[in-house]
Structure 1
Amino acid sequence: MYIFLIGKNPFSHHPKSLILDINKVSILPSKCGEYENDRLTQGMTGIFEYPWMALVASSLEPNLEASFICAGSIIHEKYILTAAHCLKFANANAKVCVGEYNIKTDIDYEGLKYDLDCASPSQDIEVEETVIHPMFNKPERRQNDIALLKLKTPIDFTKNNAMAMCLPLSEKLRNLNVIGLDMIVAGWSRDNDKFTGEHIQSRIPVVDSSNCNRTGRTLSQNQFCAKDFCEIFSGGPVMRLSDVNHLALMVQYGIFGYGPSTCHDEIPAVYTNVAKYVDWILDRIKN
């Protein structure tokens, strides 16, 4: 079991200074990335630990009914950030579920019998529009693997299990060299390509891109290479607790893209570098 201290988050509002374009950032939620835990442990997450996580329902083949096949992150009351490959065959049935913890239970709760802390009901929201990056799979396969889901109705942030994820908005965070840093990845566990219901997390170290290139995968400057966490589905956020205007907030630096066809500790996975797409994300939301 891995255990490392990450500090307690002083709750506050989304910082809107030290950014490159204040007009674009003004459209984002005023609160994001608040993190309560004093430390992270490998394995199961707490019910309220990652309230920005979203389940994404889409289709992997044309004309098939949508099912939960990927994860994503809340970045706005009407937008989910995910991987483009998750939406290749998105259809009219595409939807997201936010505020979910264990998909096999009707009510999520933690605590003792007479002191239960219950989560609000999850929110199932239909998708109004899928916005796939125009350069997805160009010039190489799986490059620019990033997309947005515009929701038909806004997420209710008054619920105790729904909050936006912070993006790397400042110049310092956008230019952060992530090689050698530990990131956090979380999502719903899977077994034979089906969700098992449990929400789990792991610490993944970011390694030099040469570790991925030598396995036959060519990384662009918009991707990074890190330990594979094959126990979960792709599309979810890769996060790190960061100093944002003197606040400790969870910031999304990556999107889980793809790894080896079978779980292998020695073969790393490829992740989309979110910092390289902040302008694209903000432009799509603003428009």
Structure 2
Amino acid sequence: MKTCVILLVLVVWANAKAFDGRRQKVVFPSRAFPAVKKASLPRALENGFKPAKPKLTGGSSAALGQIPFHVSIDSDDSYFCNGAIIHPYYVVTTAYCVEGGSEFTIYAGVVKRHGDESSRVIVKSNETYIHVGRNPHNNDGNIALIKLAEGFRFNEYISAALLPWNDDQFVGDAAWISGFGSQYQGGPLAPVLQYAAVTVISNEDCGKPYGSDMQPSDICTLAVKGLGDCDYDNGGPLFKNIAEGASLLIGLSAFGAGCLNVAPDGFSRVSAYRDWIAGHLQST
């Protein structure tokens, strides 16, 4: 994730030089969020939910326990992704991140990709669920669940993000992104988990550079030159902090115009899949 602080922001809505590849940000060819019911928060916090506490608007390295639901995911298919804990037995990511793989190693409680922290927990899984509506030609259905054989024990460093259950958009609101991705196009993975402040925009505005590729199940953030998602940020969370003290997961990093950030970053809209997610969680 690019985290360069800039003093002057010039949003350019021109076509970017696209790039593609399994381990890069998905690029579409040319051609936001739910409010939490107040009554739910005490129960959610009792069950291990903990708010993330980003501090800098220009981007920064995360401190241990700052974004306790963010996980790194290695696949036996040799590519890397990000994900978010939503339940002791479930991690959510994009479908793109699990397609082609059969065994996944999840690192939680870390801010280094594989971590050497005493808080580190490593779990493996070979049980994944890709949304039945997955369309490889656009971002529709680009979401997946990884079910763990051994559940996480929530603590100061590992906990779950809240899930949305209504269709509030949060257009124009501040949110946060996090990821272990490159800090410049073609660069190596970030040595420490990165996060940055972003602004949610409408799908109408997001659709200006992406055209017919935009789906109702997408959510986007404003293009800011020098800041945003980059290579290997796939599956990373887009989240919003709730005043009562919880972090709401509203998107998963899915597509964009590359690391140049001259078009909005696109995410799979979590609320669009809440019934599908709930069905899996309730069966556990």
Q: Cα gap change, 1:77/1:225 in structure 2, threshold over 3 Å: closer, same or farther?
A: same
Secondary structure of the equivalent of 1:186?
strand
The runs of 4+ residues in structure 1 deviating greater than 6 Å are 26-29
Correspondence for 1:86: 97
Tell me which of 208, 215, 235 is aligned to 1:214.
Answer: 208
Q: Does 1:55 align with 2:72?
A: yes
Greater relative contact order structure (CA < 8 Å, 6+ sep):
2
Q: Is the 8 A contact 2:69 2:158 kept in 1?
A: yes
Q: Is the 8 A contact 2:178 2:196 kept in 1?
A: yes
Correspondence for 1:248: 245
Q: Aligned partners of 2:168, 2:97: CA distance in 1, in Å? A: 27
Larger radius of gyration: 1
Aligned positions, number: 242
Q: Cα gap change, 1:69/1:279 in structure 2, threshold over 3 Å: closer, same or farther?
A: same
Correspondence for 2:236: 236
Residue 194 of structure 1 deviates from its aligned partner by 4.4
Tell me which of 113, 118, 121 is aligned to 2:119.
Answer: 121
Which has the higher mean CA deviation after the structures are superposed, 121-130 or 70-79? 121-130
Q: Cα gap change, 1:71/1:223 in structure 2, threshold over 3 Å: closer, same or farther?
A: same
Correspondence for 1:30: 47
Q: Aligned partners of 1:176, 1:15: CA distance in 2, in Å? A: 12
Q: Cα gap change, 1:155/1:201 in structure 2, threshold over 3 Å: closer, same or farther?
A: same
Correspondence for 1:202: 196
Q: Does 1:176 align with 2:172?
A: no
Q: Cα gap change, 1:127/1:161 in structure 2, threshold over 3 Å: closer, same or farther?
A: same
Q: Is the 8 A contact 1:90 1:130 kept in 2?
A: no
Q: Aligned partners of 1:123, 1:105: CA distance in 2, in Å? A: 9
Q: Aligned partners of 1:269, 1:209: CA distance in 2, in Å? A: 11
Correspondence for 2:219: 224
TM-superposition CA deviations, 1:15-49 (whole Å, max 9, x none): 78469xxxxxx999713132456665522122211
Q: Aligned partners of 2:97, 2:51: CA distance in 1, in Å? A: 27
When you count strand as a share of all residues, which structure comes out higher?
Answer: 1
TM-score (norm 1): 0.74
Q: Does 1:146 align with 2:143?
A: yes
Q: Is the 8 A contact 1:70 1:86 kept in 2?
A: yes
Q: Is the 8 A contact 2:107 2:114 kept in 1?
A: no
Q: Cα gap change, 1:267/1:72 in structure 2, threshold over 3 Å: closer, same or farther?
A: same
Which has the higher mean CA deviation after the structures are superposed, 98-107 or 68-77? 98-107
- Aligned partner letter, 2:86: I
Correspondence for 1:9: none
Q: Aligned partners of 1:98, 1:130: CA distance in 2, in Å? A: 18
Q: Cα gap change, 1:193/1:96 in structure 2, threshold over 3 Å: closer, same or farther?
A: farther
Residue 209 of structure 1 deviates from its aligned partner by 2.1
Q: Aligned partners of 2:40, 2:66: CA distance in 1, in Å? A: 27
Correspondence for 1:5: none
Q: Cα gap change, 1:216/1:175 in structure 2, threshold over 3 Å: closer, same or farther?
A: closer
- Aligned partner letter, 2:255: Y
- Aligned partner letter, 1:266: V
TM-superposition CA deviations, 1:181-206 (whole Å, max 9, x none): 22100111326374232211111112
Q: Aligned partners of 2:79, 2:110: CA distance in 1, in Å? A: 12
Residue 95 of structure 1 deviates from its aligned partner by 1.9
Q: Is the 8 A contact 2:239 2:251 kept in 1?
A: yes
Q: Is the 8 A contact 1:28 1:75 kept in 2?
A: no
Q: Is the 8 A contact 2:107 2:115 kept in 1?
A: no
Residue 277 of structure 1 deviates from its aligned partner by 1.4
Which has the higher mean CA deviation after the structures are superposed, 269-278 or 143-152? 269-278
Q: Aligned partners of 2:196, 2:53: CA distance in 1, in Å? A: 17
Residue 249 of structure 1 deviates from its aligned partner by 1.4
Q: Aligned partners of 2:173, 2:54: CA distance in 1, in Å? A: 20
Pairwise CA RMSD = 2.9
Secondary structure of the equivalent of 1:81?
strand
Correspondence for 1:101: 111
TM-score (norm 2): 0.75
TM-superposition CA deviations, 1:70-105 (whole Å, max 9, x none): 1000011110010111111121x3221111211376
Correspondence for 2:270: 274
Secondary structure of the equivalent of 2:280?
helix
Q: Cα gap change, 1:87/1:222 in structure 2, threshold over 3 Å: closer, same or farther?
A: same
Secondary structure of the equivalent of 1:215?
helix
Instruction: Percent identity, please.
Output: 20
- Aligned partner letter, 1:89: G
